[in-house]
Amino acid sequence: MSSLKNRLERLKSFIIDKQSLLVSYSGGVDSTLLAVVAHEVLGDKMSCAIIKSPLMPKAEFSDALLVINDLNIPCNVLNSGILADYDFIKNQKDRCYVCKKKNSKLLFNEAKRQGLTSVADGTNFSDTKVFRPGFQAGKEAGIAHPFVDAEITKDDVRELARQYNLKNAEKPSASCLVTRFSYGSVISPEMLSAVEEAEDFIKSFGCGQVRVRCHGYIARIEVDPGDMGIILEKREEISENLKKSGFLYATLDLDGFVSGSMDREI
């Protein structure tokens, strides 16, 4: 594989070839880096759009706006109606595919409104090696994936984010709240809120990565192994909080945080 410097130059070339670009922005390190590089090479011929929906934790959304505003990169908010889509809320294995298809329409409509020729997201080369139905949906919709084209991996993104002195360079990976639910369990606004509030409560004790996976009335807590002591120390408070949210049982997963752990059910 080429050097990181060469891959960065390839990334810039891919972006320049687009002439103008709307970046699908989420506040994560991937889309932030893409926005910064696109702004560097395209200037006012690029913009960002963030999709607001109940699937994105409120704290994540607020932080995302702070980051992009601090960078002085234009970003518009697009409102999603994804919870009105029955194919999505029935929560089958293609849920990410369905969501990406719907979001792609929002993004391309926004790009057209602004007179921008292309839409891109921050999918990186490492993402193509794991289960990502949304990636396929994006390809079909015409979403560009500059990091993939330049073979820039997740580790590359982190390193480049440090080189660009991005404030969120070390931000833990995040995912939409639906990834906390078993396939086939119908998604509701109430359960999304319950999981979000439970994770916020656990994070308030100082845990970094937190996932509250929902298996019916069982809440399976995933944290980094180094934070398990916090969960055990605060177990009574956490259990009480989860039960108030509607869960009957609170469990700690001894494997710790595993990205995409619900995909084990596939």
Instruction: CATH number of the domain at 119, please.
Output: 3.40.50.620
Asked whether residue 213 falls in the same domain as residue 139, the answer is: no
Sites in the chain below the pLDDT cut of 70: 1, 261-266
Asked whether residue 22 falls in the same domain as residue 99, the answer is: yes
User: Can you give the pLDDT at residue 266?
Assistant: 47
pLDDT tens, position by position, 134-148: 888 888 999 999 999
pLDDT tens, position by position, 196-205: 999 999 999 9
Total structural domains in the chain?
2
User: At 246, which CATH number?
Assistant: 3.30.70.2210
Pick the closest to residue 106 from 22, 174, 38, 189 (CA basis). 22
User: Can you give the pLDDT at residue 63?
Assistant: 95
For residue 132, with 0-12 CB atoms within 10 Å meaning exposed, 13-18 middle and 19 or more buried, which class applies?
middle
Asked whether residue 99 falls in the same domain as residue 219, the answer is: no
Per the structure, the complete domain to which residue 196 belongs is given by 177-265
User: Can you give the pLDDT at residue 166?
Assistant: 96
